[in-house]
Structure 1
Amino acid sequence: MRAVWKGAVTFGLVNVPVKLYSATEDHDVSLHQVHASDGGRIRYQRVCEIDGEVVPYQDIDKAYDDGERTVVITDQDLKALPSERSREIEVVEFVPREQIDPIMFDKSYYLEPDSASSKAYVLLREALESTDRVAVVQMALRQKTRLAALRVRGDVLVVQTLLWADEVRAAAFPSLEADVKISPKELDLSKQLVESLVADFEPEKFVDAYQHELRTLITAKLEQGDSIDTAATFGERPEEAGGAEVIDLMEALRQSIAAKRGDRAGDSGTPAAGGKKAKDASKPAARAKKKAAS
């Protein structure tokens, strides 16, 4: 994992140097848009509405529009804000964990000690565990001031960014305002249904069926040769820096695919989509993902 932030957790006179790592990742297969007739890659351009020119990314600034006027905000403006320069996770208060509504949780990060001694880190972790409290903290992350909850997960401190109070919508539904009568028998049957499904939550038991089937489909198409040459149809060009390395990698991938096709041509038949190779979708999908990233 690569650290996305470095700083320190501060509470009172205690300073805990830490590194911040994303605790979660997206497992969805990355898909591109292509021209249906020839498979050519569809790309989007940033065009200025005044002169119609395509604008390089480095020449793009942010702006706020109030409906009548627009205020341009440069990267220098954002970097000058005090919160952007802050490298502290400041503990504001310690609260009972049940007082934080799960609807406020946003993104999770792991904290790793960033000093020769992890004593201050362990001290904070043990203090949170022994008091059964969560630390409410404020920090600057990705040019924004964040409210977050600092808690313990196993032996690791975790920071979970929180939504601000005005970002959580109120649930006001007229249909729930009516006086609904529930009979004792209906409630009893509902309780029986709940009891019949009681279990300990084990997240490993649940899988993303759609993504699994999508990977299986991609693997089957690759195995059957139902694919197109990426460099030819997507219009890929080697970058100025390290271009030769990109070309060598693409050529190696093409030769590998060609060799596999040659091996299949000598066989009596093509493996079915539901065969062993099609079912093991993780390895081909990983190779395809690396190829797309290159």
Structure 2
Amino acid sequence: MRAIWTGAITFGLVNVPVKLFSATEDHDVELHQVHARDGGRIRYQRRCEVCGEAVEYADIDRAYVEDDETVVLTKDEIGAIPQERNREISVVEFVPTEQLDPIMFEKSYFLRPSGKSSKAYVLLRRTLQQTDRTAIVQFALRQKTRIAALRVRDDVLVVQNLLWPDEVREAEFPELEENVRISAKELELSSALVESFSADFDASEFHDEYQEELRKLVQAKLEQGDALDTDATFGEAEESGGAEVIDLMEALKQSVQRSRDARKGGGGAKKAASSKKSASKPAAKKSGSEKSTGAKSAAKKPAAKKSAAKKPAVKKSSTKKTASAAAEKKAS
């Protein structure tokens, strides 16, 4: 695993150096959209609904839409907002574990000791175990302040992001306000049914049968030779409407390269400045109605699918065909 954050847990004068690792991952088989007739890859365009042009990622701003008004926020404006970059997981308080409502839990992370000695880490772990308490902490991750629960799981400190109080909805269902009569006999039989299903929880006993069958299907088609040449069907994106159709990963790569060029200075810096200038041109230069309509549509436009940059499992057969073709060409 690769650490995604490095810092320290602090409470009082105690400082526990740690590294943060994602504790969960998605096990789903990743599938791509293709043309049913020829297996060609389906790609998405970011298209402006005012001018109709396909827009590159670098030229996209964000917008807040409220009713008939759209507020466009440029990258510079968003970047000017103070961002939390503190490298501390600050303990706010220790609370009884049973007081935490599971509905507030979000993503979980493992904490690994990173100092020369793990004594402070072990001390905090044993203290939490002995007192049956969970630490409520605040820390910054990806420039956002988080509130989280710090607890122990299998001798490892785990921090779990918590939803903010206003992010949990109130369950307001009129049906639950009705006075329903439950007899003692009904409750007794219901309790007996629960008892008949009682067991100790073991997550390893549960399996995602759909994903298992999906993997079997893919493997069977590979073994039967029922696979297409990936380079032929997932070829490079062609130009459409004067703009290149690029997936999200490619856009990110280009952004990173432009940033590196800007640091080196010279031609790279000029190129990055020119790109930034074109990206910051606001839609406000259009008429009021066009700006509102275009930005409003852009705000509702879904992000490009993350999976678009990855290639499917069937690439193995493609690689063999490509390598064979290269060998024949070299021999000739």
Report how far residue 70 of structure 1 moved: 0.9
Counterpart code for 1:212: E
Residues 140 and 146, structure 1, Cα contact 8 Å, conserved in 2: yes
Residues 18 and 114, structure 2, Cα contact 8 Å, conserved in 1: yes
Would you say how many aligned residue pairs link Structure 1 and Structure 2? 249
- Separation of aligned partners in 2, 1:93 and 1:102: 18
What is the 5 A alignment of 1:213-224?
213-224=213-224
Counterpart code for 1:96: P
**2:104 pairs with 1:104:** yes
Aligned to 1:151: 151
Report how far residue 157 of structure 1 moved: 0.4
Aligned to 1:46: 46
Report how far residue 50 of structure 1 moved: 4.3
Report how far residue 49 of structure 1 moved: 3.7
- Separation of aligned partners in 1, 2:41 and 2:140: 38
Report how far residue 37 of structure 1 moved: 1.1
Change over 3 Å in CA distance of 1:190–1:86 after alignment to 2: same
Change over 3 Å in CA distance of 1:99–1:29 after alignment to 2: same
Counterpart code for 2:205: K
The secondary structure found in structure 1 opposite 2:210 is helix
Counterpart code for 1:46: R
Residues 61 and 75, structure 1, Cα contact 8 Å, conserved in 2: no
Report how far residue 191 of structure 1 moved: 0.9
Residues 46 and 54, structure 1, Cα contact 8 Å, conserved in 2: yes
Aligned to 2:182: 182
Report how far residue 256 of structure 1 moved: 4.8
- Separation of aligned partners in 2, 1:80 and 1:69: 19
Aligned to 1:263: none
TM-score in terms of structure 1 length: 0.77
**2:73 pairs with 1:72:** yes
- Separation of aligned partners in 2, 1:121 and 1:65: 46
Aligned to 2:121: 121
What is the 5 A alignment of 1:120-139?
120-139=120-139
Aligned to 1:291: none
Report how far residue 172 of structure 1 moved: 1.4
Report how far residue 209 of structure 1 moved: 0.6
Aligned to 2:82: 81
Deviation per residue, 1:220-242 (Å, 9 max, x gap): 111112221111011148x999x
Report how far residue 74 of structure 1 moved: 1.8
Residues 230 and 318, structure 2, Cα contact 8 Å, conserved in 1: no
RMSD: 2.6
Gaps of 5+ in 2: 238-249, 255-313, 323-332
Counterpart code for 2:35: H
The secondary structure found in structure 2 opposite 1:212 is helix
The secondary structure found in structure 1 opposite 2:3 is coil
Report how far residue 52 of structure 1 moved: 3.6
Gaps of 5+ in 1: 242-249, 259-294
Flag the structure with more relative contact order, 1 or 2, with Cα contacts below 8 A and sequence separation at least 6.
2
- Separation of aligned partners in 2, 1:251 and 1:39: 13
Deviation per residue, 1:16-43 (Å, 9 max, x gap): 1111100000000111111111111000
Residues 9 and 88, structure 1, Cα contact 8 Å, conserved in 2: yes
What is the 5 A alignment of 1:219-238?
219-236=219-236
Residues 78 and 143, structure 1, Cα contact 8 Å, conserved in 2: no
- Separation of aligned partners in 1, 2:173 and 2:186: 23
Aligned to 1:60: 60
- Separation of aligned partners in 2, 1:44 and 1:172: 39
Percent of aligned pairs with the same residue? 65
Aligned to 1:281: none
- Separation of aligned partners in 2, 1:171 and 1:105: 17
Change over 3 Å in CA distance of 1:4–1:82 after alignment to 2: same
TM-score in terms of structure 2 length: 0.69
Report how far residue 113 of structure 1 moved: 1.1
Aligned to 2:29: 29
Change over 3 Å in CA distance of 1:166–1:80 after alignment to 2: closer
Report how far residue 144 of structure 1 moved: 2.0
